[in-house]
């Protein structure tokens, strides 16, 4: 599925992809965004995280996020956050993200259950306030 976001071509948007040969098989996009978890922290929102169905469970998603976190840290990010699809929460927990308890909601776009999730990128960072 192809998705497009009005922020995609902005210089501050961060797109990360993983390839098998010439084929893009996993991608994630990060936009600078006020975090609903800790609004004072320099944060990026993750959107459009996906691995192609036929190559899931090979560690590609985890590798893309690990690479992205290093890049975002270098840009000064202290936290990443997302509205995580509930069916994927196990993935995010496996790669060190946390859930904001009580934040479950239906996505306006997909009507699927989502939960606010986040990961601190800086050692000793404050924990969630909500
Ligand atoms: C969620 C998704 C991105 C994971 O990508 P992936 O490349 O298959 O994930 P990885 O192989 O890197 O998995 C990393 C770890 O997460 C675990 N994991 C992956 N998907 C999981 C899931 N849905 N539930 C629980 N655990 C999961 C893996 O078992 C692995 O754990 P391990 O390190 O203990 O072995 C992928 O399944 C996907 O694209 N799903 C459909 C779209 C989607 O839901 N995107 C997220 C929207 S917020």
Instruction: Please count the structural domains in the chain.
Output: 1
41 is a domain residue: yes
Q: What is the CATH number for 97?
A: 3.40.630.30
74 is a domain residue: yes
Report the chain's mean pLDDT, rounded to a whole number: 94
Q: Which residue, 126, 87, 104, is CA-closest to 117?
A: 104
Q: Do 85 and 114 form a contact (C-beta atoms < 8 A)?
A: yes
Q: What residues make up the domain containing 25?
A: 14-120
49 is a domain residue: yes
113 is a domain residue: yes
6 is a domain residue: no
Query: Which tens digits make up the pLDDT trace of 90-104?
Result: 999 999 999 999 999
7 is a domain residue: no
Q: What is the pTM of this model?
A: 0.94
Query: Which tens digits make up the pLDDT trace of 4-29?
Result: 999 999 999 999 999 999 999 999 99
Please compute, for residue 44, the number of CA atoms within 13 A of its CA located in the half-sphere on the CB side: 24
**Ligand 1 pocket member 84 (CB < 6 A):** yes
Q: Do 29 and 5 form a contact (C-beta atoms < 8 A)?
A: yes
CA of 61 to the centre of ligand 1 (A): 6
Residues β-bridged to residue 31: 45
Q: Is residue 111's pLDDT more than 80?
A: yes
50 is a domain residue: yes
99 is a domain residue: yes
Residue nearest to atom 3 of ligand 1 (CA): 50
**Ligand 1 pocket member 79 (CB < 6 A):** no
Query: Which tens digits make up the pLDDT trace of 38-57?
Result: 999 999 999 999 999 999 99
């Amino acid at each position: 599925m192809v998705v497009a976001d009005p922020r995609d071509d902005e210089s501050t948007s961060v797109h990360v992809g993983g390839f098998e040969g010439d084929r893009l098989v996993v991608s994630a996009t990060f936009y600078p965004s006020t975090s609903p978890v800790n609004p004072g922290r320099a944060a990026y929102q993750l959107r459009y995280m996906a691995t192609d169905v036929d190559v899931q469970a090979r560690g590609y998603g985890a590798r893309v996020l690990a690479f992205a976190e290093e890049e975002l840290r270098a840009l000064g990010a202290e936290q990443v956050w997302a509205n995580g699809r509930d069916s994927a929460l196990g993935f995010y927990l496996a790669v060190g993200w946390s859930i904001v308890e009580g934040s479950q909601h239906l996505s306006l776009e997909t009507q699927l259950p989502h939960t606010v999730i986040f990961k601190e990128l800086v050692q000793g960072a404050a924990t969630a306030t909500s």
